[in-house]
Amino acid sequence: MAYLFTSESVSEGHPDKIADQISDALIDNFLAWDEDARVAIETLVTTGQVVLAGEVKSKIYLDVQKITRSVIERIGYTKSEYMFEANSCGVLSAIHEQSADINQGVDRVTKQEQGAGDQGIMFGYANNETENLMPLALDLSHRLLYELAALRRENKEITYLRPDAKSQVTLEYSDDHKPTRIDTIVISTQHDDFASEKEMQEKIKADIIAILLPRVKAQLKPELHALFSDDIKFHINPTGKFVIGGPHGDAGLTGRKIIVDTYGGKGAHGGGAFSGKDPSKVDRSAAYATRHIAKNLVAAGIADELLVQISYAIGVKDPMGIYVNTYGTSKINLSDGEIAKKISEIFDMTPYGIETRLGLRNPIYSETAAYGHMGRTPKRVTKTFENSNGEVKTIEVDLFTWERLDYVDRIKEAFNI
């Protein structure tokens, strides 16, 4: 019997995502000047106010207020009527030195012996629903908001958009777990005030269907176009009005959108957030590493769908264990347990091994903090950073290294396929 599955996304202007982006911008600035920095920063945003809290061990001092304001400005909170504006909001820093008790569990005589920054379980997932081997409902939800933000910045075809927005896509699946059609699309977007609420709702719905959807559909491979039937149910700004938004409408916190950041409810999640954490925190680095493994295994033809779990103890470099679930889609004559054993032989899953393999001690995190950490396109970019002394540094970095398909040949050789 057919069934429905739903995933959601939130825009870069959503309060929780503002918090994530500020936390990750601070991570990048610390790592740009001190690659050995240990950083865990949480951000709270509310009406006219940002609060920074957390722990740092670093040799560099940063102007955290300046960095915070630059992020808010880039997102688009630049008008006083938003009740949260880059130049006028208060920024309170309560960041302090990292606990020596935690630090002694991570730092060792050699970097190779570095222990995990915390205990916990992390999951990586991939399936073959999309070209980037991500769940389709989440991929579509992200694309809708990414294009909506592009339309807001262009300010040509749609001129009333404000930064805060959410999306949700419900797909119908067949008995053999293949997406057959889009059942429902939900979009709530913040907007300027309209003279008439009826005019507002009609205008926004018409623009979403006539302008936004074709831009998203054009990005997809042709076989997915058939999912966009005339029977899609649309709920566009279903509350009727969304003028008050952003941190004025709802407080935001770092790490409160962990399902949006990963797989939209597919696979599993260990519970640890990513943003605001340097890569010694395995909540982040091991989640990237397990995604890298799952994606390369699916791309190599091991299975159509695959979940990888790994677990750590604080201060211990080797993982407690690796678990694999292929959901009955395995293409090879090995059990899931045997696949897990081979993974441990192919991939170094110590914290140092992960950091080195994926280049995680670089300032690469700001780009992850909106529209998902997984399923993104790997690329090399040039970034510029300025410290509190006015010194400027330009660095070339590789983004989304965990999305590379650079282990496919090695996996095929190891599995004799």
| Contact in structure between 20 and 275 (CB atoms under 8 Å) | yes
Determine how many CB atoms are found less than 10 A away from the CB of residue 268: 18
Q: Is 273 annotated as a binding residue?
A: yes
Alpha carbons 356 and 410: distance in angstroms, whole number: 18
Q: Is 178 annotated as a binding residue?
A: no
Query: Any catalytic annotation for residue 294?
Result: no
Name the catalytic one among 38, 69, 256, 292. 256
Q: Is 340 annotated as a binding residue?
A: no
> Residue 169 in 3-state DSSP?
strand
Query: Any catalytic annotation for residue 242?
Result: yes
Name the catalytic one among 107, 250, 336, 338. 250
Query: Any catalytic annotation for residue 257?
Result: yes
Neighbouring residues of 249: CB distance < 8 A, sequence distance ≥ 6:
15, 164, 190
Query: Any catalytic annotation for residue 413?
Result: no
Name the catalytic one among 38, 57, 281, 361. 281
Query: Any catalytic annotation for residue 266?
Result: no
Structural tokens at position 80: 């006083």
> Residue 51 in 3-state DSSP?
strand
Q: Is 379 annotated as a binding residue?
A: no
Q: Is 16 annotated as a binding residue?
A: yes
Q: Is 5 annotated as a binding residue?
A: no
Q: Is 8 annotated as a binding residue?
A: no
Query: Any catalytic annotation for residue 166?
Result: yes
Q: Is 165 annotated as a binding residue?
A: yes
Please identify which residue in the block is written with the tokens 């915390």. 118
| Residues facing residue 50 across a β-bridge | 45, 91
Name the catalytic one among 53, 172, 181, 251. 251
Q: Is 383 annotated as a binding residue?
A: no
Q: Is 34 annotated as a binding residue?
A: no
Alpha carbons 417 and 412: distance in angstroms, whole number: 5
Query: In angstroms, how far is CA 194 from the centroid of its own chain?
Result: 33
Name the catalytic one among 12, 24, 28, 42. 42
Name the catalytic one among 277, 291, 295, 357. 277
Name the catalytic one among 283, 305, 355, 367. 283
DSSP-assigned states of every residue in 102-118: HHHHH--SSGGGPPBSS
Name the catalytic one among 8, 12, 14, 137. 14
Name the catalytic one among 84, 242, 274, 347. 242
Q: Is 14 annotated as a binding residue?
A: yes
Determine how many CB atoms are found less than 10 A away from the CB of residue 250: 15
Q: Is 206 annotated as a binding residue?
A: no
Name the catalytic one among 257, 284, 317, 342. 257
Query: Any catalytic annotation for residue 30?
Result: no
How do beta strands 120-127 and 392-399 pair? unpaired
Query: Any catalytic annotation for residue 59?
Result: no
Please identify which residue in the block is written with the tokens 């980037």. 132
Alpha carbons 300 and 270: distance in angstroms, whole number: 25
How do beta strands 233-236 and 179-191 pair? parallel
The CA angle 179-296-401, to the nearest 5 degrees, is: 105
Q: What are the helix and strand counts (H, E) for the chain?
A: 12, 13
Residue whose C-alpha is closest to residue 264's, from 340, 170, 342: 170
Q: Is 228 annotated as a binding residue?
A: no
Name the catalytic one among 57, 69, 152, 166. 166
Q: Is 79 annotated as a binding residue?
A: no
Name the catalytic one among 16, 147, 278, 355. 16
Alpha carbons 29 and 367: distance in angstroms, whole number: 13
Name the catalytic one among 17, 162, 191, 269. 17
Q: Is 20 annotated as a binding residue?
A: no
Q: Is 412 annotated as a binding residue?
A: no
Annotated binding site for L-methionine: 55, 98, 250, 281
Annotated binding site for ATP: 14, 164-166, 241-242, 250, 256-257, 273, 277
Annotated binding site for K(+): 42
Annotated binding site for Mg(2+): 16
Annotated binding site: 14, 16, 42, 55, 98, 164-166, 241-242, 250, 256-257, 273, 277, 281
Catalytic residue numbers, as ranges: 14, 16-17, 42, 55, 166, 242, 250-251, 256-257, 277, 281, 283
